[in-house]
Amino acid sequence: MIKVTVLYPNTPDARFDMKYYVTHHMPMVRDKCAGACHSIAAESGLAGGDPGSKAPYIAIGHLTFDSVEAFQKAFGPHAAEIMADIPNYTNTQPTIQISEISL
């Protein structure tokens, strides 16, 4: 099983509409990848590890798939439409991490 993690940097002028993200964007991605995307999850940054420090990421999203190939096959045809929705909830440029779930 693999996880696609989308990390939105907590820049000084970062804007992120978590309500839109969890009620519209992430369910839309899951629906577009129906049959391939097993789960969606999202988190709001609260803090960093050092006392008083800011969270490195204002928000993080996670999607799970059977394999990288399954993700690419399901996501690819909808990529342009999904990316076009990003400005509706944030002005940040996300970093993408594809991982194998180890535990």
> What is the footprint of a copy of itself within residues 52-81 (CB under 8 A)?
55-57, 59-60, 68
Q: Is residue 34 a contact point for a copy of itself (CB under 8 A)?
A: no
Question: What is the smallest separation between the CB atom of 58 and a copy of itself, expressed in angstroms?
Answer: 10
Q: Write down the least CB distance from residue 91 to a copy of itself, Å.
A: 18
Residue of 82, 14, 68, 79 whose CA lies nearest to 36: 68
Kindly compute the dihedral angle of the four CA atoms of residues 65, 5, 22, 16, in this order, to the nearest 10 degrees: -160
Closest to a copy of itself by CB, 26 vs 37, is: 26
Instruction: Determine the 3-state secondary structure of 27 from DSSP.
Output: helix
